[in-house]
Amino acid sequence: MEAETTGRRLAARQRTIRIAAGLFVAMLIVFTLIGNSLQALTLPKVSAEKPSQGRLSRSFHGSAVLSPAETADLTNPAGWKVAQVLVKPGDAVHRGQQLVSYDDTEAQRQIEDETAALEQLELPKPQLQHRYVDAVQSGDEEAILDARTALESADASIRAQQNRIERLRHDASADRQLVAPFDGIVTEVHAVAGLSAATGGPDVRLADAASGFQFRLQIPAAIADTLKPGDAMDVRLTEDDSRSLKGTVAKIEDGDAADATAPSRSADDGAGDMASSESGSGAANSGSSSETGSLPVTVTIKDPSLRGGERVEVELSRQESKDALLVSAQAIHQDRSGVYVYAIEKRQSPLGNAYYAARRDVTVIDENGGVAAVGGDLYDYDQVVLDSSEPLQDGVRVRL
Amino acid sequence: MKRAREPLTKLIYTLLAVLPAAALALPIVLTLTNSLMTEREIGSNYDWLGKMGDVAKGQQDAFVNLKLLPDWLSFGQYAQLLLRAPVYLHQFWNSVGLSAPIVAGQTAVAALAAYAFAKLKFKGRDKLFLVYLMAMLMPFQVTLVPNYLIAGKLGLLNSWAAIIGPGIFGAFGVFMLRQFMAHIPAAYAEAARMDGAGHGVIFRRIVLPLAKPGLAALIVLLFADQWNMVEQPLIFLEDAFKQPLSVELSRINEQARGVGFAASVLYMIPMALLFLYAEAYLVQGIEQSGIKG
């Protein structure tokens, strides 16, 4: 009897325990499933890309205005008044062509004065000749010498005066007009009829057609480094797209030299890199091609159809010579300890794939626009984190 | 005279029983109550551990405060354990996955072997059993290195098979069940044989049911042993996600104390449930083993 009740109580208790155990296991399973999902929800979400193998290309697009390569400033050295201006800006003139004619009345007057003086010198001459004849007839040695000296000195004065007049005439005829010394195009005319010695510049500025035109561009140092004087460059007119002209690189200058407002190089060499690129005057140290500065480059161009003052455009592009891993510049971060990117590492487990952000230190070889070529702890099978919903840290688990 | 002393004797005996019981139960109660405390409270209690100075030298002396009741009842630790950090539950299932096959496997294999050792007669039976005995008596660390080398050669390193395999073929179960089965009267088996039963029928229908208490005891003991194993997973398993929860609990550090308490409570429950369930059989077995003949 007792055994029976104990048996029944035992069975009842065991059933309770069985139920309790079942509930326990069920609860654990539920919590396991919920926990996994909850954890995945709180992970930062990232977007990733695969780096590509390739070459970084840079391009530059610039425009400038053509100006004459060689010009000559022509002025009247005598400073006479201008009688007539025979050319205007833009005219093409050839060598020897008259440009400006000057009023030579002053010179003429001077010649007249000198001619009058000459006449005056010639006046005593018959008298001296007469005296000479007399002296010879008288036979006086001293008188002969005296008379001859007087005659010769008068002749000399007359000759000198004649030379002077000759010179004056020659100068007057030369200075009467301004003549083009070479073939070219008139760029500026400052001479005004009626005024003497043009104010504010030469009477005529002439552009030498033979030497062509030039323009100046600020080209980024990285591309400018590949150019050297003598290189050909494709140039296009802004107005007339159909033609493409060939220009030649004439000169590449250092950034600092061109900009008068650049900070003195010796003063802050260390901080000079920052300062000079801010002021836009190019690389502070020659040879550092990764600076973001630009260098002024002068290009000459020769074409009979050009007039000067046209706007031209240049497009240059350059590709790096070696392959490198290219990643978006957005993926690169920097902090106190260096430059790095986050790569995604996959770890497999029975619970599924887990992705972790791993920090990889890289060095930026080159950068252009939104793309950077990097080297370092990165391989082309890695995936690089572009953007994340939360700031990442090394080793943090992420959700793709 | 006896009657007058009875209440006093009773009291003394009660105290003699209760006090050690309380002392033994204290850690468990502490685990339970500390799991209901916030992390900060646990810190205020135990942070002084290891930092108490020598009063004679003028340093600060402090006592560790073993609080039995939380100031502020909070289930945050359980929320952390069950919802926010699924790694603990994952390791709990690892423990289950490691222990259950071992317990089930060893019980099955040992029952068969024990039947053979107890009921069958064959040449070299006793000598073989002596070998089993020696194997059981050797500490686990002695066979650790050969086990590791064999597991390496078999390519089982870093997998559960390296732990479950040797576990299933342990000698302890054989020994214990053999003792139990030896106590079963041979008359039962003989009677069954006379009715035409073969070994299989005898084993299944007669011996096993009679050996239920032994099986229950074996299961409880095996489970207690395997559920708490720490060295084998540390040595044979490399990946952290394959480790059982016992390893994680052995590594509780200052950062994860609160969750450690909650995880310990969680870890105790299966053991407690199993014991409560098997207790009936154990008691039954103890009662029955007195019967002979």
DSSP-derived secondary structure for B255-288: GGHHHHHHHHHHHHHHHHHHHHHHHHHHHHHHHH
Q: Chain B interface, mutation test: which of A6, A16, A17, most B Cβ atoms within 10 Å? A: A17
pLDDT at position A211 over 90:
no
Q: How far apart are CA A83 and CA A195, in angstroms?
A: 8
Which CA distances in Å does B13 have to A93, B7, B9? Answer: 136, 10, 6
Predicted local distance difference test score (pLDDT) of residue B168: 92
Q: How many contacts, defined by CB atoms under 8 Å, are there between A and B?
A: 49
User: Domain ranges in chain A?
Assistant: 46-57+322-398, 71-196
Residue A331 DSSP code: G
Mean pLDDT of chain A: 77
b/e per residue B152-175 (b: at least 16 CB within 10 A): eeeebeebbebbbbbbbbbbbbbb
Torsion angles phi and psi, residue A194, rounded to 5? 105, -20
For the segment B150-158, the average pLDDT, to the nearest whole number, is 92
Contact B219, B103 (CB under 8 A): yes
- A308 or B162, which is more confident? B162
Torsion angles phi and psi, residue A328, rounded to 5? -70, 145
User: A17: which 2 tokens?
Assistant: 């325990």
Predicted local distance difference test score (pLDDT) of residue A226: 77
Task: Name the pLDDT band for A70 (thresholds 50, 70, 90).
Answer: confident
Q: How far apart are CA B283 and CA B290, in angstroms?
A: 11
Predicted local distance difference test score (pLDDT) of residue A389: 86
The whole-angstrom distance between A397's CA and the closest CA on chain B is 13
For the segment A357-376, the average pLDDT, to the nearest whole number, is 81
For the segment A125-137, the average pLDDT, to the nearest whole number, is 85
Strands of A82-85's sheet in order across: A82-85, A98-102, A177-179
Q: What percent of chain A has pLDDT over 70?
A: 84
The whole-angstrom distance between B126's CA and the closest CA on chain A is 39
Contact A216, A298 (CB under 8 A): yes
Lowest pLDDT segment from A70-79, A130-139, A260-269, A308-317 = A260-269
Q: Which residues pair with A102 in a beta bridge?
A: A82
SS3 A78: coil
Predicted local distance difference test score (pLDDT) of residue B61: 63
SS3 B134: helix
Contact A13 B280 (CB under 8 A): yes
For the segment B51-63, the average pLDDT, to the nearest whole number, is 64
B160 reaches A (C-beta below 8 A): no
The most confident of the ranges A213-222, B250-259, B273-282 is: B273-282
Task: Name the pLDDT band for B56 (thresholds 50, 70, 90).
Answer: low
User: B93: which 2 tokens?
Assistant: 């299932």
For the segment A200-227, the average pLDDT, to the nearest whole number, is 77
- A132: enclosing H helix or E strand: helix A125-138
pLDDT at position A276 over 60:
no
* Closest C-alpha to B221, from B129, B99, B92: B99
Predicted local distance difference test score (pLDDT) of residue A92: 78
User: Domain ranges in chain B?
Assistant: 2-77, 85-290
* Closest C-alpha to A346, from A294, A389, A376, A383: A383
Q: How far apart are CA B262 and CA B89, in angstroms?
A: 11
Its sign, for the CA torsion B93, B95, B96, B101, is positive
Q: Closest partner residue to B82 among A17, A18, A31, by Cβ?
A: A31
DSSP-derived secondary structure for B138-196: S-TTTTHHHHHHHHHHHT-TTSTHHHHHHHHT-HHHHHHHHHHHHTS-HHHHHHHHHTT
pLDDT at position B91 over 70:
yes
Residues from chain A that touch B270, judged by Cβ atoms under 8 A, are: 21, 24
Q: What is the residue type of A68?
A: P
Residues from chain B that touch A395, judged by Cβ atoms under 8 A, are: none
Q: Closest partner residue to A35 among B82, B241, B266, by Cβ?
A: B82
Predicted local distance difference test score (pLDDT) of residue B113: 93
Predicted local distance difference test score (pLDDT) of residue B62: 65
For the segment B136-161, the average pLDDT, to the nearest whole number, is 90
List pLDDT tens digits, range B195-211: 888 888 888 888 888 88
Predicted local distance difference test score (pLDDT) of residue B220: 92
Q: How far apart are CA B252 and CA B85, in angstroms?
A: 15
Residue B254 DSSP code: G
Q: What percent of chain B has pLDDT over 70?
A: 88
Predicted local distance difference test score (pLDDT) of residue B21: 93
Predicted local distance difference test score (pLDDT) of residue B292: 43
Q: How far apart are CA B113 and CA B129, in angstroms?
A: 10
pLDDT at position B72 over 90:
no
Q: Chain B interface, mutation test: which of A23, A31, A41, A43, most B Cβ atoms within 10 Å? A: A31
Angle, CA A281 vertex, CA A276 and CA A282 arms, to 5°: 80
The CB density around residue A83, as the number of other CB atoms within 10 Å, is: 17
The whole-angstrom distance between A357's CA and the closest CA on chain B is 18
Contact A39 B89 (CB under 8 A): no
Predicted local distance difference test score (pLDDT) of residue A282: 35
Q: How far apart are CA A273 and CA A366, in angstroms?
A: 17
Task: Name the pLDDT band for B128 (thresholds 50, 70, 90).
Answer: very high
Contact A189, A90 (CB under 8 A): no
List pLDDT tens digits, range B105-126: 999 999 999 999 998 889 999 9
List pLDDT tens digits, range B227-256: 999 989 999 998 888 899 999 888 877 677
SS3 B133: helix
Predicted local distance difference test score (pLDDT) of residue B79: 87
The most confident of the ranges A256-260, A305-309, B60-64, B96-100 is: B96-100
3-state secondary structure B199-228: HHHHHHHHHHHHCHHHHHHHHHHHHHHHHC
SS3 B238: coil
Tokens 């039963």, residue located:
B197
List pLDDT tens digits, range A13-63: 888 888 999 999 999 888 888 887 787 788 888 888 888 887 777 778 888
Predicted local distance difference test score (pLDDT) of residue A295: 80
Which CA distances in Å does A339 have to A61, A98, A359, A383, B272? Answer: 30, 69, 10, 17, 55
The correct CATH number of B85-290 out of 1.10.3720.10, 3.40.640.10, 3.50.50.60, 3.40.50.2020 is 1.10.3720.10
Q: Closest partner residue to B277 among A14, A35, A349, by Cβ?
A: A14
User: A118: which 2 tokens?
Assistant: 């000459």
A38 reaches B (C-beta below 8 A): yes
Predicted local distance difference test score (pLDDT) of residue A273: 37
Is the whole-model pTM more than 0.90?
Answer: no
Task: Name the pLDDT band for A287 (thresholds 50, 70, 90).
Answer: very low
The CB density around residue B264, as the number of other CB atoms within 10 Å, is: 18
A311 reaches B (C-beta below 8 A): no
SS3 A264: coil
Q: How far apart are CA A259 and CA A272, in angstroms?
A: 14
Contact B83 A36 (CB under 8 A): no
CA of A28: which chain B residue's CA is closest? B89
Lowest pLDDT segment from A153-157, A193-197, A273-277, B9-13 = A273-277
* Helix and strand element counts for chain A (H, E): 7, 23
The whole-angstrom distance between B272's CA and the closest CA on chain A is 10
Contact A282, A295 (CB under 8 A): yes
Contact B70, B32 (CB under 8 A): no
A36 reaches B (C-beta below 8 A): yes
pLDDT at position A77 over 80:
no
pLDDT at position A156 over 50:
yes
3-state secondary structure B55-94: HHHCCCCCCCCCCCCCCCCCCHHHHHHHHHCHHHHHHHHH
* Closest C-alpha to B193, from B282, B99, B119, B280: B119
Contact A350 B241 (CB under 8 A): yes
User: A329: which 2 tokens?
Assistant: 């510049």
Predicted local distance difference test score (pLDDT) of residue B199: 86
Contact B240, B160 (CB under 8 A): no
Q: Chain A interface, mutation test: which of B90, B95, B268, most A Cβ atoms within 10 Å? A: B90
pLDDT at position B48 over 60:
yes
pLDDT at position B101 over 60:
yes
Q: Considering the domain A46-57+322-398, what is its CATH architecture?
A: Beta Barrel (2.40)
- A364 or B237, which is more confident? B237
Predicted local distance difference test score (pLDDT) of residue A286: 37
